[in-house]
Amino acid sequence: MEIVIKDTYEEIAALAGERIAESVRARPDITLGLATGSSPLGIYDYLARAHLKGLSFKHVRTANLDEYVGLSPAHPQSYRYFMEREFFAKTGVSPKNIGFPRGDAEDLEKECERYDLYLQKWARDIQILGLGANGHIGFNEPGTPFDSVTHITELKESTRLANSRFFKTAEEVPSKAITMGIKNILDSKSIILVASDTYKAGAVKDMLEGEISVNCPACALRGHKNVTVYLDKKAAKLLR
Ligand code: F6R
């Protein structure tokens, strides 16, 4: 595991962004695993600027980590909508190359199976991850087995509260999500995790120095051979 620590979020986002841009230049039909939330925004910004300078995403394939149960892709708080606004529309990813779990599927179990087959077909070359303050990756909350595949999960109250900043009220945050499992995440050839700010410092310390157990989903990354963790100084402040 490689750990990169810089003073600011902007620096780590640019480093991670350049690494992904280089990979797209080298392999225009690369498959990217994508995350939502605040952590990847600087990376998406960097890639949008690279696109304006000529980098094509036309042949890039994508697979997002998760989606809220009950929200359609057109819902402004859905992760599909977020990705359209923050990444797909700005980089010209082709709609036919976008993979996403449907939170509004009638039969959610079938949807998990469908998405899992998509993930098996399109092995990720790079998976981008943020880190929950409780150690979650994707929506794999503490207690999720490391061999889990795409499944429906009950969100912890702390996760709903953290994500309520994107909604009008905390009650509006859905209580369930459909998420790639930890095994799906570990199947990616390489993984880039970005964490910034003081409130992530405890989770960062647990992920890198804590006991490996299902109580710490991000600890599963220590069993993967190609992980780079990008931290700003504040998120790294508790590390030995
Ligand atoms: C998002 C996701 C989550 C977030 C995590 C951190 O698709 O799966 O695991 O990466 O909750 O969120 P931010 O980056 O908003 O702090």
pLDDT at 223: 95
Which segments of the chain does DSSP mark as H helices, in order?
9-26, 41-52, 79-83, 89-91, 108-121, 157-163, 182-186, 201-209
What confidence tier does 118 reach under pLDDT thresholds 50, 70, 90? very high
pLDDT at 221: 98
Residue 116 corresponds to which tokens in the numbers above?
């899992």
pLDDT at 226: 98
Q: For atom 10 of ligand 1, which residue has the closest CA? A: 130
For residues 200 and 133, is the Cβ–Cβ distance under 8 A?
yes
Q: For atom 12 of ligand 1, which residue has the closest CA? A: 37
Looking at every residue in the chain, the average pLDDT score rounds to 97
For the segment 12-44, what is each residue's pLDDT rounded down to a tens digit?
Answer: 999 999 999 999 999 999 999 999 999 999 999
* Residue from 36, 80, 137, 173 to probe ligand 1 pocket by mutation (most atoms less than 8 Å from CB): 36
pTM above 0.85, yes or no: yes
List active site positions: 66, 134, 136, 141
Q: How far apart are CA 112 and CA 125, in angstroms?
A: 21
The alpha carbon dihedral of 79, 218, 63, 41 has a sign of: positive
Q: How many whole angstroms from its chain centre is CA 130?
A: 5
For the segment 87-100, what is each residue's pLDDT rounded down to a tens digit?
Answer: 999 999 999 999 99
What confidence tier does 175 reach under pLDDT thresholds 50, 70, 90? very high
